[in-house]
Amino acid sequence: MSISRHLPAAPTSSRELETAEPVAAHWHDENQVVYASRGVLAVHTETSRWITPAHRALWVPAGTVHAHRAYGVTRIHLVGLARAFNPLGLVEPTALAVSPLLRELLVAYTVLGDDRDSPAGRRMRAVLLDQLAAAEERPVRVPEARDPRLAAVCRLLEADPSDSRGLDALGREAGASGRTLTRLFRQDTGMTFPQWRTQLRLYHALRLLAEGTPVTTVARECGFATASAFIDVFRRSLGHTPGYYLRDGL
């Protein structure tokens, strides 16, 4: 990750990012909620990547160095929160499910400007905080590998998410046995290899959907045997079908 900036206050604001527009690595003294009401936003830290479609928000704890990148024209909403407010006890970035009510609150509150200090603005903030405190964790997260052999395997799959080879075959290119790589996946990422590969494929799928790629093409490019298999994994992981995201979520 490139050199980061220290921004003491986590701003509460709303802005639009163009396709592929980056936000350089930075950190805040406050907690922050990052939400994209349109498009898809990828958030990178030194240890993981998260992707936040329209029904996920990302909790970024105070002091966490992070960078953003938009996929598709993206409207982002940022809410800064005091360190003392951490009702879920989260110590690392975490994707949270966004209910219809929480979505409307995030959108409305971040465009209030000076009216956030009005009685109506303070009431809206109170309801927003209540909704955040009740939000469920729903990650699409791709942890980074630390071991160089595992990192080499991850780069192969990053370059081609449709690569369906197992760890033994991938390991021959990385100089490690399948058994060693199996252990390293659990040790470095906290996931099994199939779990990590599914998260990687969903990460890429959301990026492609944000760019308007048809579902059948996304399924093929992300390594799913059929479009129906992709739809099933997507629905079980994210709660909605890819078609729903293309139509309403993005």
- CATH (domain of 49): 2.60.120.280
Q: How far apart are CA 66 and CA 71, in angstroms?
A: 17
Domain residue limits at 65: 5-139
Share of the chain above pLDDT 90, in %: 65
Query: Do 153 and 218 fall into the same domain?
Result: yes
Average pLDDT over residues 42-65: 88
Of the given ranges (66-70, 170-174, 237-241), which has the lowest mean pLDDT? Answer: 237-241
> What token pair was written down for 136?
């469920």
Which pLDDT does position 3 carry in this prediction? 61
By residue count, the chain amounts to 250
CB distance 209 to 242 below 8 Å: yes
Boundary residue ending a domain (91, 111, 139):
139
CATH number, residue 207? 1.10.10.60
- Count of structural domains within the chain: 2
Position 170 pLDDT exceeds 70: yes
Query: Do 160 and 245 fall into the same domain?
Result: yes
Q: How far apart are the first and last CA of the chain?
A: 27
Query: Do 118 and 168 fall into the same domain?
Result: no
Which pLDDT does position 248 carry in this prediction? 56
Res. 154 pLDDT band, cuts 50 70 90: very high
Which pLDDT does position 141 carry in this prediction? 85
Which pLDDT does position 4 carry in this prediction? 76
Query: Do 112 and 177 fall into the same domain?
Result: no
Who wins on pLDDT, 238 or 232?
232
Query: Do 75 and 155 fall into the same domain?
Result: no
Q: Is 236 exposed, middle or buried, given 0-12, 13-18 or 19+ CB atoms closer than 10 A? A: exposed
Which pLDDT does position 56 carry in this prediction? 86
Position 10 pLDDT exceeds 80: no
Boundary residue ending a domain (87, 113, 139):
139
Average pLDDT over residues 139-163: 92
Query: Do 118 and 28 fall into the same domain?
Result: yes
Position 140 pLDDT exceeds 80: no
Which pLDDT does position 189 carry in this prediction? 93
Q: Is 173 left (phi over 0), alpha (psi -120 to 50) or beta?
A: alpha
**Where are the alpha helices (H) located in the chain, listed in sequence order?**
100-110, 119-134, 148-159, 167-174, 178-189, 193-210, 215-221, 227-238, 242-244
Average pLDDT over residues 33-52: 88
Boundary residue ending a domain (139, 172, 190):
139
